[in-house]
Structure 1
Amino acid sequence: MNFDFDTETEAFRQHLRSFAQTHLAPHYLADGRAGEFHAGLREELAQLGLFGLLIPEELGGQGASKTVSGVVCEEIARADFNAGWLITNALLVSDIINTHGTDEQRKRWLPAIAAGEQIPAIGLTEPGHGTDAGALEMKAERDGDGWRLTGEKTSISLGMHSDVALVFARTGGPGAKGISGFYVPLTAKEVSRAPFRDIGGRPIGRAAIHFDGLYVPQEDMLGEEGKGFTSVMQGFDYSRALIALLCIGAGQASIDEALEYATQRHAFGQPIGKFQGVAFPLVEYATHLRAARLLSYEVLWRVDNGMPHTMEGAMVKWWVPRLAVDAAHEALLTFGQLGYSEEFPHSQRMRDMMGMEIGDGTAQVSKIVVARQLLGREFAP
Structure 2
Amino acid sequence: MDFAVDDAMQGYLDAAAGVASQIAPDYQQRERDGFIDPQLRRQMGSCGLIAPELPRELGGRDERALTTGMITEQIARGDLTVAYVQVIGSLVGQILARTARPELAARWVPQITSGEDVVAIGLSEPNAGSDAGNPSMTARPQGGGWVLRGTKSMSFAMHAGAAVVFARTAPEGRGRGITAFLVELDRDGIQRRASPDVGTRAVGRGGIEFTDTWIPPDNLLGELGTGFTEVMQGFDFSRSLIGLQVIGAAQVTLEETWEYTGERTAFDQPLSSFQGVAFPLAEAETLLAAARLLCQKTLWLKDAGLEHTKEAAMCKWWAPKTAYDVIHQCLLSHGQYGYLSDRPIEQRMRDVLGLQIGDGTAQIMKLVIARHSVDRELAP
TM-score by shorter chain over 0.5: yes
Structure 1 match to 2:13: 13
Cα deviation for residue 110 of structure 1 reads 1.4
Structure 2 match to 1:161: 159
Q: Does 1:324 align with 2:312?
A: no
Equivalent positions of 1:51-62 (< 5 A) are 51-62=50-61
C-alpha root-mean-square deviation of aligned residues, in Å? 1.4
Distance in 1, Cα, partners of 2:93 & 2:363: 28
Q: Does 1:249 align with 2:244?
A: no
* 1:102-155 deviation per Cα after TM superposition (whole angstroms, max 9, x unaligned): 32332222122222222110011112211111110111001131110011112x
Q: Percent identity?
A: 44
Cα deviation for residue 3 of structure 1 reads 4.1
Equivalent positions of 1:25-174 (< 5 A) are 25-38=24-37, 40-154=39-153, 156-173=154-171, 174=173
SS at match of 2:342: coil
Please tell me the residue identity of whatever aligns with 2:85: L
SS at match of 1:149: strand
Cα deviation for residue 37 of structure 1 reads 2.3
Cα deviation for residue 71 of structure 1 reads 1.0
Please tell me the residue identity of whatever aligns with 1:180: T
Equivalent positions of 1:332-351 (< 5 A) are 332-351=331-350
How many residue pairs match? The answer is 379
Please tell me the residue identity of whatever aligns with 1:303: K
* 1:257-284 deviation per Cα after TM superposition (whole angstroms, max 9, x unaligned): 1111121111111111110000000000
Distance in 1, Cα, partners of 2:274 & 2:75: 32
Please tell me the residue identity of whatever aligns with 1:300: L
Distance in 2, Cα, partners of 1:25 & 1:39: 17
Whether the 8 Å contact between 2:16 and 2:75 is mirrored in structure 1 is yes
Please tell me the residue identity of whatever aligns with 1:207: G
SS at match of 1:212: strand
* 1:7-58 deviation per Cα after TM superposition (whole angstroms, max 9, x unaligned): 321343133213311x111110111133222463222222222234233212
* 1:320-353 deviation per Cα after TM superposition (whole angstroms, max 9, x unaligned): 1011011111111111111111222110000001
Distance in 2, Cα, partners of 1:203 & 1:339: 22
Consecutive unaligned residues in structure 1, runs of 5 or more: none
Consecutive unaligned residues in structure 2, runs of 5 or more: none
Whether the 8 Å contact between 1:86 and 1:158 is mirrored in structure 2 is no
Please tell me the residue identity of whatever aligns with 2:130: T
Distance in 2, Cα, partners of 1:237 & 1:362: 14
TM-score, reference length from structure 2: 0.96
Whether the 8 Å contact between 1:248 and 1:324 is mirrored in structure 2 is yes
Whether the 8 Å contact between 1:27 and 1:38 is mirrored in structure 2 is no
Equivalent positions of 1:287-366 (< 5 A) are 287-366=286-365
Distance in 2, Cα, partners of 1:288 & 1:125: 30
Structure 2 match to 1:266: 265
Please tell me the residue identity of whatever aligns with 2:78: A
Structure 1 match to 2:210: 211
* 1:165-213 deviation per Cα after TM superposition (whole angstroms, max 9, x unaligned): 0011111122222011111111122100100111100111111110011
Cα deviation for residue 61 of structure 1 reads 2.2
Distance in 2, Cα, partners of 1:146 & 1:211: 15
Distance in 1, Cα, partners of 2:69 & 2:266: 39
Whether the 8 Å contact between 2:198 and 2:350 is mirrored in structure 1 is yes
Distance in 1, Cα, partners of 2:291 & 2:38: 34
